[in-house]
Amino acid sequence: MQNVLISPSILSADFARLGEEIAAIDQAGADMIHIDVMDGHFVPNLTFGPPVIEKLRPCTDKPFDVHLMIAPVDPFITAFAKAGANILTVHPEAGPHLHRTIQAIRAAGMRPGVALNPATPASIVEPVLDDIDLILVMSVNPGFGGQAFIDSQLRKVQQLRAMIDQTGRNIILEIDGGLNAETAPKAIAAGVNAIVAGSAVFKGGASAYANNIRALKPGVKV
């Protein structure tokens, strides 16, 4: 069966107990930890930055899948590398030189990703396909957890799956926003191999996390 990575978004975790929450989702079967960094400028919300990520780093060995919703990005790349980010994903709209930003992320020892807002076309990644390790399709407008999945993004997932397969490169195709046991199978059928989920993972308290994660995997009926 197809392997799909689950990357719980800690945006829906209990912020007063973030370290414990990360240890709990690690135990519950998370493949990566999705960390949403927001600046109140690129998106209308604020979260956390490198100092918090650095403190969370010892809580798990799982990769930190860091989604930057900040502008500019470039002055902070080294700080995210030092804090322990493994994948660093940026929005093309966050700066004028996407290729340069991707190069800087790679040079800092991280894996570069590109995130596409609902109105951003798949074609924007075409010129950088040789340089990136992850594409993140936003299936909500970024900024908040708990929003409804935008179905039209499935077509973009299909386009990106075809583009990635043509490269023969191992690029993760991840989707973020409104994923749950109903929407995840549609996204997997369209071609994603990584799922971000916040509210669907963190509902019901720590004893529910393992089942919540399993419910997002392919072929699981709930």
Query: Interface residues with ligand DX5 (CB under 6 A)?
Result: 9, 11-12, 34, 36, 67, 140, 142-143, 145-147, 176-179, 196-200
**Binding site partner of 156, from ligand DX5, Zn ion, none, Cβ cut-off 5-8 A by kind:** none
Distance of closest approach, residue 169 Cβ to ligand DX5, in angstroms: 24
201: left (phi over 0), alpha (psi -120 to 50) or beta: alpha
Per-residue tokens: 5: 């990575």
**Cβ nearer to ligand DX5, comparing 127 with 146:** 146
Q: Identify the CA nearest to 47 among candidates 11, 85, 87, 95.
A: 11
Active site residues: 36, 176
Q: Identify the CA nearest to 89 among candidates 185, 21, 6, 171.
A: 171
| Amino acid identity at 92 | P
Distance of closest approach, residue 104 Cβ to ligand DX5, in angstroms: 22
- Tell me: is residue 36 an annotated ligand-binding position: yes
**Binding site partner of 199, from Zn ion, ligand DX5, none, Cβ cut-off 5-8 A by kind:** ligand DX5
Distance CA 137, CA 156 (A): 8
Cis peptide before 92 (omega within 30 of 0): no
Does residue number 174 form part of the binding site for Zn ion (CB under 5 A)? no
- Tell me: is residue 9 an annotated ligand-binding position: yes
- Tell me: is residue 19 an annotated ligand-binding position: no
Q: Which of helix, strand or coil describes residue 73?
A: coil
- Tell me: is residue 191 an annotated ligand-binding position: no
With CB under 5 A, what is the number of residues at the site for Zn ion?
3
Residues at the site binding Zn ion, with contacts judged by CB under 5 A: 36, 67, 176
